[in-house]
Amino acid sequence: MSHTIERPAPPADERLAARSPIRKLLGRPEIGSLVGAVVLFVFFSLVADAFLRASSFSTVLYSSASMGIMAVSVSLLMIGGEFDLSAGVMVTSSALIASMFSYQLTLNVWAGVAVSLVVTLALGFLNGLIYVKTGLPSFIVTLGTFFMLAGLNLGFTKLITHNVATPSIEDMAGFAQARAVFAHDFTVGGVQISISVLWWLLFVAIATWILLRTRSGNWIFAVGGSATSARAVGVPVTRTKIALFMGVSFTAWFYGMHILFNFKSVQSGEGVGNEFFYIICAVVGGCLLTGGYGSAIGAAIGAFIWGMTSNGIVYAEWNPDWFKFFLGAMLLAATVVNLVVRRRAEAGK
Amino acid sequence: MTETTETRVPLVQLEGVGKHYGNIIALRDIDLEVDWSEITCVLGDNGAGKSTLIKIVAGLHKHDEGVFRIEGEPVSFGSPREALEHGIATVYQDLAVVPLMPVWRNFFLGSEKRTGAGPFARLDIRFMRRTAKRELLDMGIDLRDVDQPIGTLSGGERQCVAIARAVYFGAKVLILDEPTAALGVKQAGVVLRYIAQARERGLGVIFISHNPHHAYPVGDRFLLLKRGRSLGYYTKDEISLAELTAQMAGGAELDELAHELESAGVKGAPELREGARDLGLSD
């Protein structure tokens, strides 16, 4: 350590040999989920004949995207060291706002889409602001906003539409365009693909770029890994955390728009419980619950596992009532695998 | 660097600085000076106010009383970032590193180098990796791999990375909060050498410690703190290591301790008492 310039090659090689390329690969956060995904894919291919059909694959992809879009931002937030339990109902809130705003005022649906974007981003900002100002754990803050939003969703919808669901907006101005953007289906080689799958992949790519190649990404890892250290070296911690909560609300808006323009009408009680699925996707994908570690690609693989399992059980003609048991067991298994893999990778530094 | 400064204007100067948290007075009437190529040691026991003092200089807290000048200009920092802009870099006891992040990302954290413009601005990863490796090598830290998580380095290595980072980012003043506290003898020696090296490079260093044996060999000035007050402020030729140790230990207390141990029948108490007498603390 004390000799500066003369550095003989052999000792350097000897020290580096401890970290082989395989070890390096094992050190990636998403490796556990990748192995899991391959195992599940093989498993369902063997037990369910219908699983390998092209049409099944498009269904699996669609389910994966329906979790994956939210899992992207939820994983970023988790890497930043926080939770958002309001993410599930926020999707419904944004869809309700867009739907009711356009319908009640008989406006072009794009007006509703814009208003919904502003309000949903404000909700994310509020989550972040309450967290930053009170210093309470984000678990508690967003648990509060989760119930508040769930109540508001139902209350406002009943108050305005006198029903638990919004009326269909199918025949309103701008619907066709909006549907083309948020919920278009197209066929590639005889397989129907939802545009939401493409959006999902795009979001994963953007999130990965941000995480690994930008200053903001560096800050996300830093505020999750050690907020006090990050602050001490000049990272704007509060700004980063609020931005992460707003990232979640942005994807909540986006996915809410998909639901609205796919199903035309929105059930006000929807979305409750989905926040846990998003978290499961992120954790299965290798995000640490304590923050500072994880990847968006991992969360995407987590969502793909979710899509394969939820549909694979159906294709295998099992009773889908058991699905949640498998989901929970998978979460535990994934967490243990991640833990073991990471410990091994770190031990072999 | 040394030639350009006027002799009358110190790099950092505190005059009668005080700080209170509510009705608790953490610091009162402190004078301190640091100049280019000079190491000022702040010594004191736990709770003496060392941390409060450096938090003021580092920009984590604002002082309530007195004047804080940088190169003659009175300042009061609202955030560590402002302090950094004035060239004051702090290496904290907990090192201000993010253990799970690679060494090079930690090295540039908060001051990332980027290329490209607008939405395509991205980290200049090659440059940062190379620079981190080179800068560390310049300080004599030969890392296996700058991609390894900084948490896998030893305490001394982490400390040196933090110092190298501050030096690289053009710090004029380096604040080191107990850099040798958690280290073994050999590693502490390595860190002390880097501290001296930072001085050779022309930096002003504020070295916080509770160990006079670490502070005395490298220090040029010594500020002794106790219960938020200054016990004394000396240049190196005004005080010897023995006197410094004695002042730190607090002579009367050492004597008291010896008395207590003696009455409890503990062996070694006479030696302690003798030691205190040797240091001129009691008779």
| Domain carrying residue B51 | 12-248
More confident residue, A43 or B96: A43
A230 CB neighbours in chain B (<8 A) are 98, 109-110
When scoring B92, B101, B143 by the number of chain A Cβ atoms within 10 A, the one with the most, hence best to mutate, is B101
Angle at A199 between CA A263 and CA A166, to 5 degrees: 20
Identify whether residues B161 and B261 lie together within a single domain.
Answer: no
Identify whether residues B210 and B166 lie together within a single domain.
Answer: yes
pLDDT > 70: what percent of chain B? Answer: 87
> Hey, are the CB atoms on A225 and B100 less than 8 Å from each other?
yes
> What is the domain count for chain B?
2
Closest of A45, A12, A6, A16 to residue A312, by C-alpha: A45
Identify whether residues B196 and B278 lie together within a single domain.
Answer: no
What is the average pLDDT across B59-87? 85
B97 CB neighbours in chain A (<8 A) are 226, 229
Residue B58, CA distances (Å) to B55, B174, B197, B199 in order: 5, 9, 21, 19
User: How many residues comprise chain B?
Assistant: 283
Closest of A296, A159, A146, A116 to residue A217, by C-alpha: A296
Identify whether residues B233 and B109 lie together within a single domain.
Answer: yes
Identify whether residues B195 and B75 lie together within a single domain.
Answer: yes
CATH for B26: 3.40.50.300
B110-128 residue pLDDT tens: 888 888 887 788 899 999 9
Identify whether residues B40 and B172 lie together within a single domain.
Answer: yes
User: A291: nearest CA in chain B?
Assistant: B100
pTM above 0.90, yes or no: no
> Hey, are the CB atoms on B149 and A346 less than 8 Å from each other?
yes
A3 CB neighbours in chain B (<8 A) are 140, 142
Pair type for strands B38-44 and B221-226:
parallel
User: A11: nearest CA in chain B?
Assistant: B144
Identify whether residues B103 and B143 lie together within a single domain.
Answer: yes
CA of A272, closest CA in chain B: separation in Å?
A: 33
Identify whether residues B166 and B261 lie together within a single domain.
Answer: no
Following DSSP, what letter does each residue of B137-153 receive, concatenated?
HHTT---S-TTSBGGGS
Largest Cα separation within chain A, whole Å, is 81
How far is Cα B48 from Cα A199, in angstroms, rounded to an integer? Answer: 58
Low-confidence ranges of chain A (pLDDT < 50): 1-18, 348-349
Identify whether residues B281 and B179 lie together within a single domain.
Answer: no
Task: Please compute Rg for chain B using Cα positions.
Answer: 21
A237-269 residue pLDDT tens: 999 999 999 999 999 999 999 999 999 999 999
> Hey, are the CB atoms on A292 and B101 less than 8 Å from each other?
yes
> Hey, are the CB atoms on B98 and A221 less than 8 Å from each other?
yes
Domain boundaries, chain A: 29-344
Residue A341's pLDDT is 63
> Hey, are the CB atoms on A232 and B99 less than 8 Å from each other?
no
> Hey, are the CB atoms on A234 and B125 less than 8 Å from each other?
no
> Hey, are the CB atoms on B96 and A229 less than 8 Å from each other?
yes
Q: Which fold has domain A29-344?
A: ABC transporter involved in vitamin B12 uptake, BtuC (1.10.3470)
Identify whether residues B47 and B104 lie together within a single domain.
Answer: yes
Asked if residue B131 is part of any domain, the answer here is: yes
Asked if residue B179 is part of any domain, the answer here is: yes
A26-52 residue pLDDT tens: 667 788 788 888 988 998 899 888 888
Following DSSP, what letter does each residue of A197-240 receive, concatenated?
HHHHHHHHHHHHHHHHHSHHHHHHHHHHH-HHHHHHTT--HHHH
Identify whether residues B272 and B222 lie together within a single domain.
Answer: no
A214 CB neighbours in chain B (<8 A) are 121-123
How far is Cα A95 from Cα A42, in angstroms, rounded to an integer? Answer: 37
How far is Cα A70 from Cα A235, in angstroms, rounded to an integer? Answer: 26
What is the average pLDDT across B248-277? 67
How far is Cα A308 from Cα A65, in angstroms, rounded to an integer? Answer: 11
Identify whether residues B128 and B76 lie together within a single domain.
Answer: yes
Asked if residue B3 is part of any domain, the answer here is: no
B82 has pLDDT over 60: yes
Element (H, E) at A25: helix A21-26
Residue A2's pLDDT is 41
